[in-house]
Structure 1
């Protein structure tokens, strides 16, 4: 039994070698569909990993007060312009909002183009500066690699201290411990009290090249009009999140001076809500990847079947000789079926390699978190095997049913 299987494989490989050009074309036709499937699924997974890792660290027990709802800004709707969330409003919110175990973080982006100096070194490219309070690091899921966090004393007394992103360690400090060193931003000197763990970049935005400073100090340095402040609230128990959110909405509506019949002119967002919306988007992309791939794979299935039918026609006399020598119908059918499976798997393997390579390359350029798409690889392997069976079954049956006498007379 094993010797017959080995003999059929040998015949299949010999046939593939004798039709090398046609086989290569078929392999690449199959590979195109598998490349599209594996490549797109790899990129979608890398995108999902990147965004999820950025927001999941905030935890499921965190929500944000923001200028707009994440889902409300659609181009097909009349745009409603909400007022910015100003400092007076966030200050009142922190004073009035006293939900048990809740911690409120406030922050704003001072600039994205600051030049940070240390002795004779300075940042290139330019760094971003963020004004924060003492709860910002915890609510944002940021962790310290060295030093300490801000304290209430630092924030309330306008202490000129700062926490740096990890890129400064190698950038301007040249691997020297930055804790206790003094840096300069726009002529204002800050004592470094902490350095954050590496966070990476998202969509080209480097999270590790930023300086966190006390919010009151930041307000004296960056005085552009209509600054929009960010408010983040974290509760210790996730089960209390809904009630904490309801109280936050009521408190902020009162601060905004809204009447009971007026709609909110601000948004509420949870990190897990955003992750779920991202999952919906990536789900659509997954469906698109499958549709594109199935169309291409259908074409490759037809191509493989045609090549196998041509192979049956060309080898009609050979089939007649084998049958005259006692070969069974099942043996003849197996020879052609093995040939189709080998060609299909070669196409699948080529497509998997190309798809992963393309996905990894684009993920590297876009700074996505790439992981090996095992699901896509398994799906591609199963699909190519199914293609081979479907494409090779009809030609194999046709070859097995040939009349040996007529086959021997075939020219």
Structure 2
């Protein structure tokens, strides 16, 4: 008997037991949906994070106060406190690296309210002091107006650049350039509006106000603010040398002895993405565990259904043996039937897993993705589950005595 004939008989048997087949296929589908859905979501988010941080430039890095980076896991101990990076330290380092583009910034407030006439925002506006390179270091583009000049950045200018959401809230589509807004108790003239950026990694540029660095230094609401220094080079091949020069120069500025460790840290533009991607493997293992447990349950259910099927079709098996079917043919027929049921459930599960994963990814800011590796792996897994679940019932069917099987009622 050919494989095509076995498949035809398997489909015929499945049609005659639709309810049991559907229930088993659904169990398999749920298992694969959970597995493929979680892995698809992770893949899509990884791709989105990589693209986002790559757009910031692979030839840039940041110097910030040590201990301010993202911490995932660990012993739960409070991080050690290090000396903040002062304004004078940041400016000295900027002046000592003429071969690179250096941007200095500082957060002046995280909960400011911005007002214009009768309109005002919620008290969740971030105020950031930047220099003339501050926007380019964050890959921010202007929709209207202009950037701070180098001269303006070194002065306490009452000027600002606002995010897209603030512009819409306060001006409702009108041109905000040249208008005077109130940021807390301070009155600032709008000279630029940023393009819509959206939220990324918990930061929303559209709800931010950018002021000159010296203005940010003067109105800062924090007791001990720490400045951030972003450095980029024109050629990625110069990255390591520039990092080495920056570390050596900044150690001198911070008056660190040879035996002392750095009290600042270097973070490349994709460091956050890499940290999150590395830790996402635990979520992936959790998804795999959920999928495998569900598939084990599905395989047990499939085995029971196949055993019931063998009992119900005992007479049919006897007839086939009587007309010349050998044990290998009977065994093959039931194995193929189990695999077909798994493939039906697997197809449904993979489809809904892809759909679910990409919908979640879309709402998390990720991109659409078709993970061919997971799709192929899912189908291979279905075949394995089908073979493992169907082997014992198929073996039992192949060993039935034809005479006894024909007499079975």
TM-score class normalised by the smaller sequence: 0.7 to 0.9
C-alpha deviation, 1:32, in angstroms? 3.2
Shift of 1:17: 4.0
- Aligned positions of 1:320-399 closer than 5 A: 320-325=318-323, 332-333=330-331, 335-360=333-358, 362-363=360-361, 367-375=364-372, 376-399=374-397
Distance 1:222 1:76, change over 3 A: closer
Question: Equivalents in 2 of 1:135, 1:391: separation in Å?
Answer: 64
Counterpart residue number, 1:126: 124
Contact kept, 8 Å, 2:44 with 2:369, in 1: the verdict is no
Return the alpha-carbon distance in structure 2 between the equivalents of residues 71 and 206 of structure 1.
17
CA spacing shift, 1:179–1:203, aligned 2, 3 Å: same
C-alpha separation in 2, matches of 1:262 and 1:71:
23
Partners in 2 of 1:298 and 1:39 — Cα distance?
A: 18
Alpha-carbon separation, structure 1, partners of 2:341 and 2:71: 51
> In structure 1, how many angstroms separate the alpha carbons of the residues matched to 2:166 and 2:41?
30
Residue 81 of structure 1, CA deviation: 1.9
Query: Is 1:220 paired with 2:207?
Result: no
What is the correspondence of 1:4-403 to structure 2 with a 5 Å cutoff?
A: 5=4, 8-9=6-7, 11-68=9-66, 70=69, 74-75=74-75, 79-95=79-95, 97-100=96-99, 102-124=100-122, 126-325=124-323, 332-333=330-331, 335-360=333-358, 362-363=360-361, 367-375=364-372, 376-403=374-401
SS in 1 for 2:206: coil
8 Å CA contact 1:107, 1:132 repeated in 2: yes
Residue 121 (structure 1) shift:
2.4
The superposition leaves residues 193-228 of structure 1 with CA deviations (integer Å, 9 ceiling, x where unpaired) of 333333222355423211111111222322431011
Aligned residues: 406
Following TM superposition, by how much is the alpha carbon of 1:324 offset from its aligned partner in structure 2, in angstroms? 3.7
Structure 2: gaps (5+ residues): none
Note if contact 1:134-1:149 (Cα within 8 Å) is conserved in structure 2: yes
**Contact 1:106–1:133, Cα closer than 8 Å, also in 2:** yes
What is the DSSP-based 3-state SS (H/G/I as helix, E as strand, rest coil) of the residue aligned with 1:225? coil
3-state SS in 2 of match to 1:85: coil
Distance change in 2, residues 1:53/1:196 (3 Å): farther
Separation in 1 of the partners of 2:22 and 2:379? Answer: 18
Say what the alpha-carbon RMSD is for the aligned residues.
3.0
Shift of residue 236 of structure 1? 0.9
1:3-37 per-position Cα deviation (integer Å, ceiling 9, x unaligned):
x93x6555434433443443233223322321231
Greater displacement, 201-210 / 355-364: 355-364
Which deviates more from structure 2 when the two are superposed, residues 245-254 or residues 51-60? 51-60
Measured against aligned partners, the alpha-carbon deviations of 1:318-337 in whole angstroms (never above 9, x if no partner) come to 22234445556666455434
Does the Cα contact within 8 Å between 1:60 and 1:271 map onto a contact in 2? Answer: yes
CA apart distance, 1:79: 4.4
Q: TM-score scaled by structure 1?
A: 0.86
Give the Å deviation of 1:278.
3.0
Does the CA-based 8 Å contact 1:162-1:213 persist in structure 2?
yes
Distance 1:49 1:145 in 2: 27
- For residues 241-266 of structure 1, what are the alpha-carbon distances to aligned partners after superposition, in whole Å with 9 as ceiling and x for unaligned? 11111111112112211111111111
Q: Deviations over 1:137-166 (max 9, x none)?
A: 222222333333222022123333322223
Q: Which runs of 5+ in 1 are unaligned?
A: none
The farther-off stretch of 45-54 and 206-215 is: 45-54
Contact 2:107 2:220 in 1 (8 A): no
Instruction: Tell me what 2:404 maps to.
Output: 406
Matched-pair contact (CA < 8 Å) for 2:343–2:383: yes
